[in-house]
Every structure is written in C-alpha cells, then in structure tokens.
Amino acid sequence: MRLMDIKDNTMNEYVVNWTLNEICNFNCAYCFNKKKDLKSKFKFSEKILSKKIYKNILNLKETAKVLLIGGEPFLHEDIIKICKVLTKKFHVTIATNLSIEKKIQEFVNCIDPASIDRLNISCHIEEREKRKEVYDLIRNIDLLRKKGFNFILNYVLYPSLMNRFIDDYAFFNSYGIKIQPKFVRGNFDDKFYPYAYDHEIKNKFLIIEKNEFSNSMPINARGLQCHINSNKIKIDNGVIRKCSYDKFQNNFSNAHNKFKFDSDPVICKNKLCNCTARFKFADFKEVHYYLYEGLFLYVYGDLKGSKEYFCKVLTCDNKFSPAYNNLGVIEYDLGNFKEANKFFYDAMSIHQNNSLYVKNYVLSLLKLEETEKAKNFCVEFLKSRKNERIFDLSEKISRKENFDLRPEISIEFNPE
Ligand code: SF4
Ligand code: SF4
C-alpha cells in the first residue's frame, strides 16, 4: 500500500529541503514558484545566505537527504560549489528544468554521480517547444545518462496537456526516456485538482502503471498529529519552516540559527496538505491508509479499486463519513444517482454540518429530478447557519441556472 510503504521506508529519514532561489528562465503556465526578474535583488542575499545555510546544514548531527529546489537551482551562481560541499556529507537531489547548458556541463564534469541521489527533471513540454529546446533536453539527459546520474523526467498533467500526454509519452519513450506523470494539485479554473480530472482523461492514465505516478494526494489532515518536525527542515529565503503548507507553524527560525530536528509531533492546523508524505503521522490509523489509497485510485481512474478501499474504510470504522461521501461520488460518476443519493445521505447523517456532503446530496436530488426537495433542503440548512457553498447552490437552483457541478470527493482525514 502506497502510504504505508512510504512510511516504512522513511521512518528514520531526515530531509532538508532548500529553496536555493526563486528565479527561473522558464515561464510555465502552472508555476507558483518563480520570480520572473532574473536580476532580482534576491540574488545578492541568496549568495550571502547560501554560505550560512550550507554551513548550518553541514553541522547537522543527522545524515539528511538534501533536496535543492528553485526557481531554477542551476541559475544560482554557486550551484556547483554548493553541490561540491554538500555531497561530501549528504545525498543530494536537485529539482531542475535541466536547461542551463553551461552549468550542467560543469556539473556532470565535477560532481560524482554516486553522491547525487537523483535529478528530478521537469519536462514542461509547452515551454520547451516555445523555446525550441525539446531536443536540447534529450541531449542533456543523454549527458547525465552517460555519466551514470540517476534521474527522473516528470510531466505535469496540466489539464490543457491531457490531450497530448499519450503522444508525448510515446515520443520520449522512443528515446529510451520514461516520463513520469505528475498530477496537478490545487485550484485551476475553479476546480480542485487532482480530484477534478474528468473520466475521459482518467481513462488515459490507465495505460500507465500506477506506480509510475510520482506524487502524493492532497489531503486535509487538520487535527492529526504530524511528525514533520522530527525529520524535515525547509529553507525558504533564509527562513526555516517545518511545514510548507501550514501557515500557523511557519517561520520556525532563521538560517542564522543552528538547524535541528525536533522530536515532538505538531497538531496539523492546515486544511490542505500537499506534502510528499516523507513524514509520519503519529496517529494515522488503518482507515487513513485505506482512505488515502482510495483517493489515489479514484484520481488514477480505477473506480473499482477505489470503491474497494472506501468500503474497507467502513469495515474498520462504519462512522467514517468521508468514505460514504466518496462512495456516493463514484456511484454518481457511474450514473447511479439513487445509490449516490443514499451514500450522501449516510455521510450527512454522521456529520450534519458538513456542507460538502449537503451539496453532494442536493446535487444527487437534482439528478433524481427532485428539484423542490433539493431547494427546500438548502433553505432548511441555511436557516440555522451561514454557508457560502450552499447559498451559491441554492441561488443557482432558484434561478433555474444551467450548471455543471459535480459532487466532490472528501479529503478529510479527521472528519467533522
Ligand atoms: S521550470 Fe519550474 S520554476 Fe521554472 S517556471 Fe517552470 S515550473 Fe516554475
Ligand atoms: S500540512 Fe501536512 S506536513 Fe504540514 S503539519 Fe499538516 S500534515 Fe504535517
């Protein structure tokens, strides 16, 4: 099982995740992590900070894996020096677009491939085509291969790329390069990915092995105990964070202080965790593993497998409402609106105030052409509380608007 494997393999693994810079020569449509100005003033502070940071990393007692990310890390003028220093003690992974030729040449000539865990290369196919650099990528990958560097080539499954994904997969395969699909995570066009991929698109995933997908599922872990503190340090612009997603626990320290891992778990306060699961939850139960696997299989397009895992959740805990909701979503997707309606009702009976369940229930009523009942249900719900989600839905129903809303999957690991 996916998350259990991750947990077992990484129980004692320390990770330092260092954002080396924020500048990038690419301009990918889905990027959330770059500053366009290549002469950005960060450059100066990056240089000063880098020295301090890598000294602090070297002083760590534990042997950590160091992950260098950006922007584009190969645009950092000291990247080779930093790699030379860090690889003396640590295994280093670099996330890169592999486009800065001069630096890559220098890197393959100076750095021992055995000291680099992996290069996580991103394909960014549209951007590369715009720059006429697709074959440059293949050439640079060949360079790494000849020297024996370990690498993967990620392909972000951005909704607009879905129609060409299979052709791109075949193209790179013909050069002996396997692209690793990566789900989009987050809101695009008012849809929450990866759960919003439609089924036609998901069917395309099914030709790819499940274990070739490279990323973890976004979950809502609020209220759970997370051990991120005990094995992860994230460094952004000299600020030390333990968790990139938790606004409440950020800014833990700064790069001038000694780095250390803590032993006590934190209680997650964040509604959305996109962490790559290189940490362990102190209070993860069997239901959580089953829910996680069900979510992955749903996104991957394996509805049958997903259904089995959501049912397994209920055999462990028949009051775990997200499983009922998610079974409802699958039935709805399959066109079985009566069954869907029943599952949403079951979820709602456990957590009456959960507006996601209410919305899904109302949507299933509409499919069953019980419009009056759907309308009244919203009105009754809104009488006792304010809720934007249900208010919007109710307005749409009243205006008899034509809307294309699909029920949503629940990602709550600590449902309420
Ligand atoms: S290569 Fe990476 S950092 Fe640069 S624009 Fe694309 S996604 Fe952003
Ligand atoms: S958001 Fe994720 S990584 Fe951060 S504290 Fe919560 S569970 Fe842990």
Flag whether 413 is in a domain. no
For residues 141 and 222, state if they share a domain. yes
Flag whether 275 is in a domain. no
Neighbours of 11 (CB within 10 A): 11
Model pLDDT, residue 33: 62
Q: Which residues line ligand 2 (CB under 6 A)?
A: 221, 226, 228, 243, 245-246, 266, 268, 270, 273, 275, 279
CATH number reported for the structural domain that contains residue 345 in this entry: 1.25.40.10
Flag whether 244 is in a domain. yes
Task: Tell which one of 252, 262, 279 to mutate to probe ligand 2, the residue whose CB is within 8 A of the most ligand atoms.
Answer: 279
Q: Give the pLDDT mean for 281-299.
A: 88
Taking only the tens place, the pLDDT of each residue in 342-363 is: 999 999 999 999 999 999 999 9
Flag whether 357 is in a domain. yes
Q: Give the pLDDT mean for 75-86.
A: 91
Q: Which long-range contacts (CB under 8 A, 24 or more apart) does 246-254 make?
A: 246/270, 246/273
User: Using 50, 70 and 90 to split pLDDT, how confident is the model at 253?
Assistant: low
Q: Give the pLDDT mean for 65-90.
A: 91
Q: Give the pLDDT mean for 368-395.
A: 93
Flag whether 411 is in a domain. no
- Show the tokens assigned to 30: 């889905």
Flag whether 198 is in a domain. yes
For residues 256 and 391, state if they share a domain. no
- Show the tokens assigned to 18: 């260092």
For residues 18 and 164, state if they share a domain. yes
8 A C-beta contact, residue 252 and residue 262: no
Model pLDDT, residue 12: 63
Distance 25 CA to ligand 1 centre (A): 8
Q: How far apart are CA 170 and CA 173, in angstroms?
A: 5
Q: Which residue has the tokens 């080779």?
A: 80
Asked whether the predicted pLDDT for residue 268 surpasses 90, the reply is no
Asked whether the predicted pLDDT for residue 43 surpasses 80, the reply is no
User: Using 50, 70 and 90 to split pLDDT, how confident is the model at 62?
Assistant: confident
Q: Which residues line ligand 1 (CB under 6 A)?
A: 24, 26-28, 31, 33-34, 70-72, 97, 122, 124
For residues 101 and 248, state if they share a domain. yes
Q: Which ligand is located closest to the Cα atom of residue 272? A: 2
Mean pLDDT of the chain: 86
What domain count does the chain have? 2
Indicate the pTM of the whole model.
Answer: 0.85
Model pLDDT, residue 221: 87
Neighbours of 373 (CB within 10 A): 12
Model pLDDT, residue 111: 96
Find the helix packing angle between 101-110 and 79-86, rounded to 10°: 20
For residues 245 and 317, state if they share a domain. no
Burial of 322 (0-12, 13-18, 19+ CB in 10 A): buried
For residues 114 and 147, state if they share a domain. yes
Type of residue found at 352: Q
8 A C-beta contact, residue 59 and residue 258: yes
8 A C-beta contact, residue 236 and residue 216: no
Taking only the tens place, the pLDDT of each residue in 190-223 is: 788 999 988 877 877 777 777 777 667 889 988 8
For residues 23 and 153, state if they share a domain. yes
Pairing of strands 239-241, 232-236: antiparallel
Q: How far apart are CA 215 and CA 277, in angstroms?
A: 9
Flag whether 111 is in a domain. yes
Query: Dihedral angle at the C-alpha atoms of 349, 350, 351, 357, nearest 10 degrees?
Result: -60
User: Using 50, 70 and 90 to split pLDDT, how confident is the model at 152?
Assistant: very high
User: Using 50, 70 and 90 to split pLDDT, how confident is the model at 47?
Assistant: low
Asked whether the predicted pLDDT for residue 8 surpasses 50, the reply is no
Q: Which ligand is located closest to the Cα atom of residue 268? A: 2
Q: Which of 157-161, 226-230, 405-409 has the highest mean pLDDT?
A: 405-409
- Show the tokens assigned to 405: 């809303």
User: Using 50, 70 and 90 to split pLDDT, how confident is the model at 34?
Assistant: low
| Atom 6 of ligand 2: nearest residue by CA position | 268
Angle made by CA atoms 230, 236, 240, in degrees to the nearest 5: 40
For residues 379 and 312, state if they share a domain. yes
Q: How far apart are CA 32 and CA 234, in angstroms?
A: 17
Model pLDDT, residue 6: 47
For residues 258 and 294, state if they share a domain. no
Model pLDDT, residue 41: 43
Burial of 41 (0-12, 13-18, 19+ CB in 10 A): exposed
Distance 122 CA to ligand 1 centre (A): 8
Q: Which ligand is located closest to the Cα atom of residue 269? A: 2
For residues 324 and 209, state if they share a domain. no
Model pLDDT, residue 155: 93
Number of residues assigned to the chain: 416
Burial of 272 (0-12, 13-18, 19+ CB in 10 A): middle
| Atom 8 of ligand 1: nearest residue by CA position | 31
The closest alpha carbon to 193, from 205, 202, 201, 184, belongs to: 184
Containing domain of residue 386, as a range? 290-398
Beta strands per DSSP E along 32-158: 64-69, 91-96, 116-122, 151-157
For residues 164 and 16, state if they share a domain. yes
Q: Give the pLDDT mean for 62-85.
A: 90
For residues 261 and 337, state if they share a domain. no
Flag whether 405 is in a domain. no
CATH number reported for the structural domain that contains residue 83 in this entry: 3.20.20.70
Q: How far apart are CA 193 and CA 405, in angstroms?
A: 15
Q: Give the pLDDT mean for 140-149.
A: 97
Asked whether the predicted pLDDT for residue 86 surpasses 80, the reply is yes
